[in-house]
Amino acid sequence: MKPRVLQYGRLMPSLEKQLAEAFDLHRLVDEADPSAFLAQRGAEFVGLATAGFADAALIAACPKLKVISSFGVGVDKIDLKAAAERGIPVGNTPDVLNDCVADLAIGLMIDVARGIGASERYLRAGSWPKGAYPLQRRMSGKKLGILGLGRIGHAIAKRALAFDMDIRYHNRRAVADTSIAHEPSLVELARWCDFLVVISAGGAGTKHLVNEEVLNALGPEGFLINVARGSVVDEPALVRALQDKRLGGAGLDVFENEPQVPAELMALDNVVLVPHIGSATVETRAAMAQRVFDNLKSYFSTGKLISQA
- pLDDT 10s digits, 80-104: 999 999 999 999 999 999 999 999 9
* Rounded distance between C-alpha atoms, residue 158 and residue 155, angstroms: 5
The predicted pLDDT at position 179 comes to 94
Cβ atoms of 218 and 224 within 8 Å: the answer is yes
- Hey, CA dihedral for 216, 146, 71, 37, is it positive or negative? negative
The predicted pLDDT at position 210 comes to 98
Which CATH fold would you assign to the domain 98-273? Rossmann fold (3.40.50)
Provide mean pLDDT across the span 11-30: 97
Cβ atoms of 271 and 112 within 8 Å: the answer is yes
Provide mean pLDDT across the span 114-133: 97
Question: Which bin fits 117, alpha (ψ -120 to 50), beta or left (φ > 0)?
Answer: alpha
Note if the bond before 259 is cis, omega within 30 degrees: yes
Cβ atoms of 234 and 208 within 8 Å: the answer is yes
Provide mean pLDDT across the span 293-307: 98
Strand partners, 166: 143
The predicted pLDDT at position 276 comes to 97
* Rounded distance between C-alpha atoms, residue 70 and residue 9, angstroms: 11
205: how many CB neighbours lie within 10 A of its CB?
Answer: 11
pLDDT band at 45 (very low <50, low <70, confident <90, very high): very high
CATH architecture, range 4-94+283-302:
3-Layer(aba) Sandwich (3.40)
* Rounded distance between C-alpha atoms, residue 174 and residue 28, angstroms: 42
Provide mean pLDDT across the span 13-18: 98
Amino acid identity, position 212:
E
- Please provide the average confidence, as pLDDT, over all residues in the chain: 97
* Rounded distance between C-alpha atoms, residue 21 and residue 38, angstroms: 22
The predicted pLDDT at position 23 comes to 98
- Active site amino acids: 229, 258, 276
Domain limits, CATH 3.40.50.720, in the chain: 4-94+283-302, 98-273
Q: What is the pTM of this model?
A: 0.92
